[in-house]
A and B are shown apart, each in its own frame.
Chain A
């Protein structure tokens, strides 16, 4: 049993066998109550957290808090690769629209295509809802760019503005320390200065 628990902890990101051992002994020797709470919280989450039926992010309700929030601007739809990207954008506090989560990126070699990313759902959304702008916030990687391109091609049939988040020099960063690809992107995506 101890061995099994150890292995289970090891499967978590950032947890090696030493740390796992510390968790196990801590719970067994000093905090049985906490252990029970952890077990219950885990069972609850595993049983009840699913994907929001509107934006596909993780949610314990059928419709997540952001989708259910009428104050948020549903004419803007920000498309991200993962639920953690939503978290990152939310922390910035500058975006008031809604989201759509792909749970990955297009990867033909791995067999991940449009269906796996829920792009037919996205197409339905664009067809049926009054979305005025989609913001392609996939990663600044080749795969993220391919995915953005594919979605923009699909979205062209609708009367919707298609934008892509800017890529460039990090705030507080100095030009001489940026890598050449970042500089190339920053230059090609330059804007009028006002």
Chain B
């Protein structure tokens, strides 16, 4: 019998379960990603929502445990438009790439920050924030990229061009698409100084190239839904 009392969590997905209940996927601080049943929650008037930090309690014996209590531990937040789409995409990444009940303390804090920062961001800055999140997620999963050195062990020079060699790192090449400056901005996670539109696209493609093998032959649905243009 497990019994957990008020642990920090974000709801990342919910779906109807039987007549009056919900199946809830949480990203929790201490237990990583976990799926719980919210009994009777479909009928309740104030319902549990995504993108706000909660404290949740749960208990149960088998595989599927039950949410016994929850409270909001956050200021109210209204995420709209494009920022909402980016946040849904991040939820799908977490849902797809994290293993159940495998805690990621650092990533939890980064997710929390992401939600707070994305709320008031313009579109361009939002995309940059997303790229930095993907980068952190990949690092947490054990696929960190050396952003300080190239494949040959030389320091990344912000005036050079590079190309990405899968799973190896950056290779200095004058015809490379990736600017040293971009790699530098990724390293220091500079939110204020974001790359220009062209390098932002390069960054997107780089991250896709790194994420795709982990996603296998089932592409992200929110990618085809929201980012087709």
> Contact at A184–B78, with CB atoms within 8 Å?
yes
Interface string of A135-150 (1 = CB under 8 A from B): 0000001100110011
Determine, out of B81-89, B129-137, B180-188, B205-213, the stretch whose residues face the partner at the interface: B81-89
CB-CB under 8 A for A179 and B19, given A109-B95, A146-B88, A150-B225:
no
> Contact at B221–A149, with CB atoms within 8 Å?
no
CA distance A128 to B117 in the complex (A): 41
Q: Does B216 contact A (CB under 8 A)?
A: no
CB-CB under 8 A for A108 and B220, given A113-B225, A141-B47, A142-B51:
yes
Interface string of A1-25 (1 = CB under 8 A from B): 0000000000001100000000000
**Chain B neighbourhood of A181, CB < 8 A:** 46, 49, 52, 72, 76
> Contact at A113–B221, with CB atoms within 8 Å?
yes
- Of B50, B72, B78, the residue contacting A188 (CB under 8 A) is B78
> Contact at B92–A109, with CB atoms within 8 Å?
yes
- Of A114, A146, A180, A184, the residue contacting B84 (CB under 8 A) is A146
CB-CB under 8 A for A106 and B225, given A13-B19, A141-B49, A181-B49:
yes
CA distance A107 to B225 in the complex (A): 10
How distant is B168 from chain A, measured CB to nearest CB, in Å?
Answer: 31
**Chain B neighbourhood of A194, CB < 8 A:** none
Q: Does A111 contact B (CB under 8 A)?
A: yes
Main secondary structure on B side of the interface with A:
mixed
> Contact at B95–A180, with CB atoms within 8 Å?
no
> Contact at B78–A107, with CB atoms within 8 Å?
no
Within A150-194, the residues touching B (CB, 8 Å) are 150, 179-185, 188
Q: Does B224 contact A (CB under 8 A)?
A: yes
Q: Does A33 contact B (CB under 8 A)?
A: no
**Chain B neighbourhood of A188, CB < 8 A:** 78
CA distance A145 to B81 in the complex (A): 8
Within A11-46, the residues touching B (CB, 8 Å) are 13-14
> Contact at A110–B15, with CB atoms within 8 Å?
yes
**Chain B neighbourhood of A182, CB < 8 A:** 46
CA distance A54 to B84 in the complex (A): 30
> Contact at B224–A113, with CB atoms within 8 Å?
yes
Within B40-54, the residues touching A (CB, 8 Å) are 46-47, 49-52
CA distance A91 to B148 in the complex (A): 64
CA distance A14 to B20 in the complex (A): 9
CB-CB under 8 A for A149 and B225, given A142-B51, A181-B49:
no
> Contact at A109–B85, with CB atoms within 8 Å?
no
> Contact at B85–A146, with CB atoms within 8 Å?
yes
> Contact at B47–A108, with CB atoms within 8 Å?
no
**Chain A neighbourhood of B49, CB < 8 A:** 141-142, 181
Please name the residue on chain B nearest to A178 by beta carbon.
B46
Q: Does B91 contact A (CB under 8 A)?
A: yes
Given contacts A109-B221, A149-B80, A184-B77, 7 further A-B contacts (CB under 8 A): A109-B13, A109-B92, A146-B88, A150-B225, A180-B72, A181-B49, A182-B46
| 5 smallest beta-carbon distances between A and B, as pairs | A184-B76, A108-B222, A108-B221, A13-B19, A142-B50
Please report B residues at the A interface, Cβ cutoff 8 Å: 13, 15, 19-20, 25, 46-47, 49-52, 72, 75-81, 84-85, 88-89, 91-92, 95-96, 220-222, 224-226
